């Protein structure tokens, strides 16, 4: 036995000594990253994670960790598919760039030139919205996620309702993250190409890149057996949850893929939009994707800016951007219930990293991103413990945002009845308020979203979404006429509905 051990040790030593010094260094870094990820997954209680890294035109890592589903022993591997969520946006930007190359679109032409049904509240505002403005989150619109989340409105109905949205700020004079505008971009692709966005992105991007494990929509991904399940921490316990259907805004975040396939996407991006010797779009329009298009206020940027201390923060066409240790970093996160992603590119070092996970807002993704950038993109040994720093940062933010539930106020049935009825808004749709059991109200916000609330103050109710308990407690407010006391409106965050009939 002793002799066999010496023989094995000798073979391993020979292999190590015969390995080039650069490769030895890479092996050491990858081993350290492996330990880093496992430690982080334990602290974040992340069931499963998948990672891909490319450097200097080659794949240096594609690997899975943990479980696809806490209720199953099946492991995550490099071929397990996850939703890549909002990192889809960069793919949508590429589809528009291809159509600009073909002369079917122009970046600075008005959207209404191609989509006459695209109308905002005023004609002057509508005419100012250019094709590129669909991708830069600064067209002057408020947050519109209520139109698609837990809702069944199709893209065309969402576009029709845009004319009722109030201007949140002058066009290109502010910033509000927009998923609906990316859905409009997908409709634009369909209008000028004659193909749906899902068909176009598959035919013109996914297939040429050989991304055979990638699906353009959640529905298309269901046929893949090696897929993750989403999880959320509910009552301090990691729990499997249903995956929300978001295919109605597919160009904003519905692509599903694996670490293996995302190496192909990153290599394409780091090689200037080329697959082998073939360019899928012009050099000019490839560069346009990464030009800063809009300033992002630091308050609207990622909390990790407190750690990285960037001197500038911008948004390109489907990319957040900042300076990092003297380099330009293009990156984007993706988040939908129980599913996370992050993609980062350091073009000067020809380095790309992609991370996927199956626990809602497990911000280990940021730590892994910056750890990889330091290990493989900087020309010095990294000294920062990114896991410890990111974990501390987000725990502090979580503590600050936590609030204690307010004590309930008791109202009898007659008092509750005054809030019941139909409330409407041309942008947000129809809401129905009814009595719910003893002392509460049920608020039907959409055909998929209901709140169950109890009074906690004068005209203020608090409660949870019936089918989405992981969202925690939300407050709803009612407004009454001073003279008569009649309830005239209902508000949830920025959304307001007017009561249909007020006597």
Q: Can you give the CATH number for the domain in which 389 is found?
A: 3.40.710.10
Res. 141: pLDDT tops 70: yes
Ranges of H-type helices in 86-227: 89-101, 123-128, 155-161, 180-193, 197-201, 218-221
- pLDDT of 13 reads 45
* Cα distance between residue 493 and residue 472, in whole Å: 14
End of a domain among 401, 423, 439? 401
Element at 238 (helix H, strand E): strand 237-240
Same domain membership, residue 74 and residue 45: yes
SS3 231: strand
Question: CB–CB of 388/371 below 8 Å?
Answer: no
pLDDT in tens, 352-367: 999 999 999 899 999 9
Total number of domains constituting the chain: 2
Helices (H) and strands (E) in the chain, counts: 15, 22
Instruction: Inform me whether the pLDDT recorded for 492 exceeds 90.
Output: yes
What does the pLDDT read at residue 346?
Answer: 98
Quote the mean pLDDT of the chain: 92
pLDDT value for 12: 41
84 in a domain, yes or no? yes
- Per-residue pLDDT tens over the stretch 26-76: 888 999 999 999 999 999 999 999 999 999 999 999 999 999 999 999 999
Confidence at 320, pLDDT banded by 50, 70, 90? very high
Percent of the chain predicted with pLDDT > 90: 80
Strand 231-234 and strand 48-55: the pairing is: unpaired
Range of the domain at 374: 27-401
Could you tell me what percentage of the chain is helix, strand and coil, using 3-state DSSP and rounding each to the nearest 5? 35, 25, 35
Report the run of H or E that residue 366 belongs to, with start and end.
helix 364-377
Q: What's the mean pLDDT in 397-407? A: 79
pLDDT at residue 11 in the model: 45
Helix or strand run (H / E) with residue 340:
strand 339-346
Confidence of residue 140 (pLDDT cuts 50, 70, 90): very high
Which of 343, 368, 341, 377 minimizes the C-alpha distance to 357? Answer: 341
Tens of pLDDT, residue by residue over 267-289, are 999 999 999 999 999 999 999 99
This model's pTM is above 0.85: yes
Identify the domain boundary among 376, 401, 426: 401
d(C-alpha 318, C-alpha 303), whole Å: 19
Q: How confident is the model at residue 502 (pLDDT cuts 50, 70, 90)?
A: low
Residues 261 and 239 grouped into a single domain: yes
Q: Which of 2-11, 18-27, 396-405, 469-478 has the highest mean pLDDT?
A: 469-478
Query: Average pLDDT, stretch 251-260?
Result: 97
Residue 444 · residue 450 · CB < 8 Å: yes
């Amino acid at each position: 036995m002793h002799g066999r051990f010496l023989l094995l040790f000798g073979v391993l030593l020979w292999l190590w000594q015969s390995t080039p010094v650069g490769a030895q260094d890479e092996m050491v870094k990858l081993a350290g990253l492996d330990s880093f990820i496992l430690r982080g997954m334990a602290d974040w209680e992340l069931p499963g994670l998948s990672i891909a890294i490319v450097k200097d035109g080659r794949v240096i890592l594609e690997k899975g960790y943990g479980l696809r589903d806490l209720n199953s022993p099946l492991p995550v591997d490099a071929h397990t598919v996850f939703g890549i969520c909002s990192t889809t946006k960069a793919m949508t930007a590429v589809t528009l760039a291809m159509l600009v190359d073909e002369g079917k679109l122009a970046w600075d032409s008005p959207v209404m030139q191609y989509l006459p049904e695209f109308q905002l509240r005023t004609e002057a505002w509508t005419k100012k919205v250019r094709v590129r403005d669909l991708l830069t989150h600064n067209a002057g619109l408020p947050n519109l996620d209520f139109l698609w989340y837990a809702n069944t409105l199709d893209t065309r109905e969402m576009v029709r309702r845009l004319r009722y949205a109030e201007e949140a700020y002058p066009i290109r004079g502010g910033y509000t993250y927009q998923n609906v505008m990316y859905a409009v971009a997908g409709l634009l692709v369909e209008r000028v190409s004659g193909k749906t966005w899902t068909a176009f992105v598959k035919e013109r991007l996914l297939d040429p890149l050989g991304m055979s494990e990638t699906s353009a929509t959640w529905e298309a991904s269901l046929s893949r057996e090696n897929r993750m399940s989403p999880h959320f921490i509910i009552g301090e316990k990691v729990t499997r949850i249903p995956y929300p259907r978001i295919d109605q805004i597919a160009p904003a975040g519905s692509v599903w893929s694996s670490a293996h396939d995302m190496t192909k996407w990153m290599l394409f991006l780091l090689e200037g939009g080329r697959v082998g010797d073939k360019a899928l779009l012009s050099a000019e329009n490839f560069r346009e994707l990464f030009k800063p298009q809009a300033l992002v206020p630091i308050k609207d940027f990622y909390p990790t800016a407190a750690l990285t201390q960037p001197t500038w923060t911008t948004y390109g066409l489907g990319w957040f951007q900042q300076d990092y240790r003297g380099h330009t970093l293009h990156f984007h996160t993706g988040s939908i219930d129980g599913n996370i992603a992050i993609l980062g590119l350091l073009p000067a070092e020809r380095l790309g990293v992609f991370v996927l996970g199956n626990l809602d807002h497990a911000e280990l993704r940021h730590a892994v991103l910056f750890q990889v950038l330091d290990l493989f993109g900087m020309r010095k040994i990294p000294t920062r413990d990114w896991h410890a720093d990111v974990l501390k940062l987000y725990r502090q933010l979580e503590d600050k945002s936590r609030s204690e539930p307010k004590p309930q106020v008791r109202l009898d049935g007659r008092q509750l009845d005054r809030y019941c009825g139909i409330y409407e808004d041309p942008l947000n749709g129809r809401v129905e308020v009814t009595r719910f059991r003893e002392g509460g109200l049920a608020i039907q916000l959409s055909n998929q979203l209901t709140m169950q609330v109890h009074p906690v103050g004068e005209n203020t109710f608090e409660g949870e979404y019936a089918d989405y308990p992981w969202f925690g407690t939300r407050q709803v407010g009612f407004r009454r006429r001073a003279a008569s006391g009649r309830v005239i409106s209902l508000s949830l965050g920025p959304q307001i509905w007017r009561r249909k009939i007020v006597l």
